[in-house]
A and B are shown apart, each in its own frame.
Chain A
Amino acid sequence: MASIQLNSVSRIYGQGASAVHAVKGIDLQIEDGEFMIFLGPSGCGKSTTLRMIAGLEPVSQGDLLIDGQRVNDVDPAERDLAIVFQNYALYPHMSVRQNMAFGLKLRGTPGPEIESRIAGVAETLGIRPLLDRKPSQLSGGQRQRVALGRALVREPRAFLLDEPLSNLDAKLRSVMRTELIKLHRKLGTTMIHVTHDQVEAMTMGTRICIMRGGEIVQVGKPQDVYRDPADTFVAGFLATPPMNLIPARIEAAGEGLAVIAPGLSVPVPEAYRAAYAPYTGREVILGIRPEDLFETPEGAAPAAIDCSIETVEALGPETILNVKLGQGGSELAARLPAEGDWEVARQIRLFADSLRMHLFDPETTRKIAR
């Protein structure tokens, strides 16, 4: 088990004017036994960061510490971390058993112990009947299990998972997601999982580290990041459909304030008034999650929104309505119960719980603290 610390870690490709900063001086502390998720779009630096931790990419600047020991120049073989790759990277010329035994043999583990460890892990992952097969004789899901088994059998200090579920079909991915969660709970070993799938991020990790353009945008528990996104990127990245982001203005309304946008007026609840008052008369970005829009007034401070239905996505347990605000306003997504009788082009009134609204500064894109 291991704690992993990144102090101003950078990865720079090339030199001089043509240098590309793939990771830009990030700071992160991953606690012992934590299940950390690196989440972000393609090219955000999440895989590069994982590869630096594994020792497969050199650290250009900064310090990388495992259990408090600086490992910048330590060979991957000596870091005692196990990595599961997106393409599984099973040795094609070896059987499943040989694949699993490879790392143990290199470490000089005695034969009987290798056999007992392989048997134990094969039992856990249900791959015992596959032990004498070659990787080419396995299905995608079986290969994924074997890759995981090869990592598990070594009992490493930490597991690094580089999008291992992305090549699986939706059903198998869901099964493997649950198994990985159970496995982490059982082993208690530090795990770092790289993904661009928000469902994996929200369901698997004890914490999420959201990255963009080589920088960390936000780190926190999944629900905390979801409820309190640091900026418009996080707000728009997490969940499907993502948070509705509407260009708006804060105006004085009677004694209070209101967030005004074409076809929309949301009164600012008293609790937020002091925080938003400095923005009176200024442009802001209003954020409302699709599930914070309701058919009937809900919450302490509901605000009515008149709109017309553009599209209806009946998903079974719920319906996603894409609606357009009046007066040429923005389009919003609303997550509503499945029972509603929705028709395209019909005018409807939805209600936003203004206590659950978010405001972002359009210049910095950061959330306005309240």
Chain B
Amino acid sequence: MKVARLDGLVRHLILAGFSASIALPLLWVLRVSLTDKLTAYRLPPEIGQIGLHNFVEVLTQYDFTRWFGNSVFVAVLATAISLPAAAMMAYATARYRTGGWPLMMMVLSSQMIPPIVLVLPMFLVFTTLMPVPGIIAITIAHVAINLPFMAWIMISFFDEDTRSLEEAARCDGATRWQAFTRVTIPVAMPGIIAAGLLGFILSWNEFLYALILGNHSSQTLAVGLASLETHAGVNIAPLAAATLLALAPVLILLPFLQKYLIKGLSLGALK
């Protein structure tokens, strides 16, 4: 009995350690966002005078709403374009071995190459195609990053189980497309939603392409937040407030989509 209690205690201590390592930076940011620059740097940490002045400053004195709008535009559009395409690509790869292993390797290698390697070629391509690359260029770049990533996640969703469901549908009188849209897609939906969510977060947080391909008017949140680090110093308190505001959509979405994320990511792995 004692051993079991000790075992439980050790487990909880380990879990508490991990939780703290994730939660502490966020709590630190929250503290900084509610205080002022001077208090923010004080050690040992102090709470100081708490207020929402940093949030007000971010929303009134910076282009925060534009950054936010740009991020929403890019992330939503990139996800909306890449998700159906990735679903069909994953389906074709899983069901018909389209492209064989060379395509699979290409998909995988696109995730292994450091983004910095692709930035310059992509910049050259976009400056050739359009006079000033902007938000559309960032969106297209995000589609290019997201599509193979989402497809790779979704391949396992179109496994043997969905194959026999599809065959049943085809014998029931469905065409290949009807079987795909009315049976395979609904069955794989938790996984597709999970892939979409991960793709959205990837696009929302993406910095490098948004920085290189964007201009002043097309700055996304990640680039905008970085601009708060000026040569005159880091504007730490408004930066913390802006960071929390930037996290808000993901934090709001996550509880709603958590069930899909867990169900979706375990799809294909569990029977």
Interface residues of A (CB under 8 A from B): 54-56, 75-77, 79, 81-83, 85, 87, 89-93, 102-103, 106-107, 150, 154, 160
Contact = CB atoms under 8 A, between A and B. Distances in A.
A56 B170 contact: yes
A89 B186 contact: no
6 contacts: A55-B170, A56-B167, A87-B164, A102-B169, A106-B172, A106-B174
A92 B185 CA distance: 12
Given A91-B183, A91-B187, A93-B186, A77 B168 contact: no
A91 B175 contact: no
Contact of A83 (B168, B183, B186, B189): B168
B187 A93 contact: yes
Contacts of B187: 91-93
Contacts of A87: 161, 164
Interface in B158-216: 161, 164-165, 167-175, 178, 182-183, 186-187, 189
B170 A76 contact: yes
Contact of B171 (A82, A92, A93, A107): A82
A83 B171 contact: yes
Contacts of A81: 171
A89 B173 contact: no
Contacts of B170: 55-56, 75-77
Contacts of A79: 171
A102 B165 CA distance: 12
A92 B263 CA distance: 14
Contact of B164 (A76, A77, A85, A103): A85
A78 B164 CA distance: 18
Nearest to A108: B173
B203 to A, nearest CB: 28
A302 B41 CA distance: 106
A106 B177 CA distance: 13
A77 B171 contact: yes
Nearest to B182: A102
Contact of A56 (B165, B171, B189): B171
Contact of A75 (B161, B169, B175, B189): B175
Given A91-B183, A93-B187, A77 B175 contact: yes
A66 B186 CA distance: 33
A89 B164 CA distance: 6
B181 to A, nearest CB: 12
A46 to B, nearest CB: 17
A64 to B, nearest CB: 15
The residue among B169, B173, B174, B186 with the most chain A CB atoms within 10 A of its own CB is B173
A56 B95 CA distance: 13
A107 B164 contact: no
Contacts of A107: 173
A154 B172 contact: yes
Contacts of B167: 54, 56, 76, 83, 85, 89
A90 B168 CA distance: 8
Contacts of A54: 167, 171
Contacts of B182: 102
Contact of B172 (A56, A93, A103, A160): A103
Nearest to B160: A87
Q: What are the 3 A-B residue pairs with the smallest beta carbon separation, nearest first?
A: A103-B172, A89-B168, A106-B173
A103 B171 CA distance: 8
Interface string B95-139: 000000000000000000000000000000000000000000000
B165 A91 contact: yes
Nearest to B176: A75
A331 B187 CA distance: 54
A254 to B, nearest CB: 64
Contact of A91 (B169, B173, B178, B189): B169
Given A89-B168, A154-B172, 14 more contacts: A54-B167, A56-B170, A76-B167, A77-B171, A77-B172, A82-B172, A87-B161, A87-B164, A91-B183, A93-B189, A102-B174, A102-B182, A103-B173, A107-B173
A2 to B, nearest CB: 14
Contacts of A83: 167-168, 171
Contacts of A154: 172-173
Nearest to A106: B173
A30 B171 CA distance: 20
A55 to B, nearest CB: 8
A89 B167 CA distance: 9
A69 to B, nearest CB: 18
A159 to B, nearest CB: 11
Nearest to A87: B164
A87 B186 CA distance: 19
The residue among B171, B174, B175, B182 with the most chain A CB atoms within 10 A of its own CB is B171
A76 B171 contact: yes
Contacts of B175: 75, 77
Nearest to B188: A93
A106 B165 contact: no
Nearest to B179: A77
A160 B170 CA distance: 14
Contacts of B161: 87
A65 to B, nearest CB: 18
